[in-house]
Amino acid sequence: MKEFPQEKYIDLENNPYLLGRVIIYHVRDEFHAEVDIIHRESHKIFKHVDILYQQHSSEEALNSGIQRLRLFLDKTQQAAAPNSKDHLH
C-alpha cells in the first residue's frame, strides 16, 4: 500500500534554481494533485500552478499534474517570447 501524500519532482529545463513539484493526495476514493513550482534548495513555493481534483488513480493524478505544469510553462514561455511581427518595423 502506498503512503500519501506523495511528492514528485520535475527538473525544469534552462532553470537550475527551480523545480516542478506534483503532490498527490488520496482522499476517500479519489486522488488530487497539487502542482507548484518551487525553489530547488529551500523547496519553498515560487508559484502555485493548480490543484486537480477527482482523478481516478495516483498515476492519473501524476500524469495530469505533469501535463498541467507543462501547459503552464508553455504559456509562460509564449507570453515572454517577443512577437516577431513587432520586430519587422
Q: How many domains does the chain have?
A: 1
Domain of 23, in residue numbers: 6-80
Residue 89 lies in a domain: no
pLDDT tens figures, 29-76: 999 999 999 999 999 999 999 999 999 999 999 999 999 999 999 998
Of 39, 33, 85, 73, the residue nearest 57 (C-alpha):
33
Dihedral of alpha carbons 55, 58, 59, 61, sign: positive
- Sequence-separated (6 or more) residues with CB below 8 Å from residue 20: 9, 10, 11, 12, 35, 36, 37, 38, 66, 69, 73
pLDDT tens figures, 1-38: 689 999 999 999 889 999 999 999 999 999 999 999 99
Residue 88 lies in a domain: no
SS3 72: helix
